[in-house]
Amino acid sequence: MIAKKDKTEKISQATQVLELIESEIALFHDLKKNAYAMIKINDKIVNLSIESRKFSDWISHIYWISYNKALNNNVLRDCLGTLRAKAYFESPCHSIFIRIGFHENSIYLDLANEHGQFVEINADGWKLIINPPIKFISIDSMRPLPIPKQGGDFNTLFTFINIPKKSQKLVMAWMLDCFIPNTPYPLLVLHGLQGSAKSTTQEFLRELIDPSESNLRGAPKKSEDLMVAAVNNYMISLNNISYLSPQQQDDLCCVSTGGGYSTRKLYTTSQEQTVDIKRPVILNGINEIVTAQDLIDRSIIIELPSISEEYRKTELEIKENFNNEKPKILGGMLDALVSVLQKLPHVRLAKKPRMADFANLGVALEKTLNWEADSFMQAYSSHQMEAKIAALEHCPIIMAVVEYVEEQGVYEGSYGHLYQKLTDRYKSRNSGWPQSAKGLAEAIKRQLPALRVLDIEVTFSSIRKKDGYHVLLKKVFENKVHHVHQVHSSNTNRFGDPSESRYVPSKYIPKFIR
């Protein structure tokens, strides 16, 4: 009898809760079958995941102020299960967004402030609104953006961050690209010695797009950690990275261009949960942390100069000044974005790099801010080339390949024969040497973009011979490296014609071929 009475009370309390909140919520679900509730908190409309702690706390609070007693945890769990089912089976499906979303021809920016304000941005201009036509979800770690001011100057940003002049156009384009939906996002990688304000620069960049309670985080240890960060933040911001494993670099490629990740929804079940997500990423470290050519192609890698003592300011001083200017800088960004949206449909690139959408935006920004013609693509091509060459120093077998081809002019034969030649000659002075000819073949394929920059033509044989697969390595411009040295020695920092993308300043040529 007691058990039956407890069950009756439990059902009665669950019914009370559901009836109590029925008129206070609007349920819906997303394409991944996740359940959400739209509620009002302090006169502000918010969308919460039914699985979130904040939604559970809201229900408990509503019950407390109505009945002046605590809600039983088991009852709360049953209520959440019912609401989850109603959200999926009886309620509409919506796309959901964090911080930045889009609908038809407009972009929407969630200011995440106490007034529930958003910015609507399109080719006609930008304006503040209250109720966007799309669903944004509330994340506890989100901090508000300032209300942007009309007539601000985007360039004011560079009085607060330590970005060298030659890289500022790329950073401005990267920031605006963070607002563009349905495109791959290049990673922004900042590296430099201690005292180059890497963390402060990164924090200020994030403050203008997706400020968080934790603007800077350490490197994720597992793929799952990165995906959790991507689900709960619009921007992924990793601080003071000393090393990225091949798996971590592959994961960042997926986040940059969009990729799926699957795991069990709960460790106690066999149900699979799939996350398919695309996010802007910014990270920093002392050393050159991005070494995989595939990720380099998706990255903007910038070396920050050290700041001398005479120009150094206190953190408190610079943050106070930056916070005062943030509304104007954000307004200037939005003004530039409006003009970019007007010009983007008319941009046509003669040659498209790997991140073609980003290049298109950069050229549109060039026209918006009246930069010198072709200056954006020259800067972008130069940075990409420098990064490809610099990454070779992290791959000793490829460094040996380059030196060998520089001396011999050509190699044609099996990977096994080439591996033996290189091992006999170079292995004793290099660590990280591959254990087999297969490792050599994989390294050549991974570093193919850098080999092409150094004018080494690679032809792979598709037919296996008795001694294995063959490869042809050929130096196609015999005097190019010598010409580069002449350019460097005359203190000329210009690259050659960017359409050729071949002239490399000698500081980016690996040490063994200088």
Considering just the CA atoms, what is the radius of gyration of the chain in Å?
27
Kindly state whether residues 180 and 198 are assigned to the same domain.
Answer: yes
Quick check: helix, strand or coil at residue 187?
A: strand
Taking only the tens place, the pLDDT of each residue in 458-508 is 999 888 998 989 999 999 864 444 333 333 333 333 223 333 333 343 343
Q: Is residue 383 part of a domain?
A: yes
The answer to the question of residue 141 being in a domain is: no
Shared-domain flag, residues 85 and 104:
no
Q: Domain residues for 422? A: 395-513
- Tell me, yes or no, whether 78 and 34 share the same domain: yes
Residues 232, 236, 242, 243, CA torsion sign:
positive
Instruction: Report strand pairing: 281-285 vs 236-238.
Output: parallel
Same domain, 57 and 106: no
Is there a single domain that holds both residue 121 and residue 223?
no
Answer whether residue 146 is part of any domain: no
- Say yes or no: 337 and 262 in one domain: yes
Tokens 């190019």 correspond to 480
Q: Is the domain of 188 the same as that of 290? A: yes
Dihedral sign computed on CA atoms, order 348, 354, 357, 358: negative
pLDDT at position 163 is 95
Please indicate, yes or no, whether residues 40 and 189 belong to a single structural domain of this protein.
Answer: no
State how far the Cα of 75 lies from the Cα of 206, in Å rounded to an integer.
Answer: 41
Answer yes or no: do 444 and 429 share one domain: yes
What CA–CA distance (Å, rounded) separates 144 from 16?
36
Residue 149 lies in a domain: no
Is the residue at 438 inside a domain?
A: yes
Query: Which secondary-structure segment (H or E) carries 329?
Result: helix 315-343
Alpha carbons within 13 A on the beta-carbon side of 179:
27
Answer with the one of 345, 374, 389 that is the final residue of a domain.
389
Q: Which pair of tokens denotes residue 427?
A: 């292995």
State residue 447 phi and psi, 5-degree precision. -100, 15
Residue 131 falls within a domain, yes or no?
Answer: yes
- Comparing C-alpha atoms, which of 206, 275, 50, 232 is closest to residue 140? 232
C-alpha span between 501 and 378 (Å, rounded): 9
Contact 212, 142 (CB under 8 A): yes
Domain endpoint, select from 338, 373, 389: 389
Separation between Cα atoms, residue 171 and residue 208, nearest integer Å: 13
pLDDT at 262: 53
DSSP 310: G
DSSP one-letter string for 45-90 = EEEEETTSHHHHHHHHHHHHHHHSSPPPHHHHHHHHHHHHHHHHHS
CA-to-CA distance for 273 and 290, rounded, in angstroms? 29
125 beta partners = 122
Domain membership of residue 502 (yes or no) is yes
How many structural domains comprise the chain?
A: 4
Q: What's the pLDDT at 496?
A: 30
> Strands (DSSP E) along 267-312, which ranges?
272-277, 281-285, 299-303
Residues 160 and 272 in one domain: yes
Residues 272 and 163 in one domain: yes
Intervals of the chain under pLDDT 50: 1-5, 264, 266-270, 478-514
Q: Global pTM? A: 0.81
Q: What is the DSSP string of 400-441?
A: HHHHHHHHHSEEEEEHHHHHHHHHHHHGGG-SS--SSHHHHH
Among candidate residues 365, 389, 413, the one where a domain is terminated: 389
Let me know whether 132 and 173 are in one domain.
Answer: no
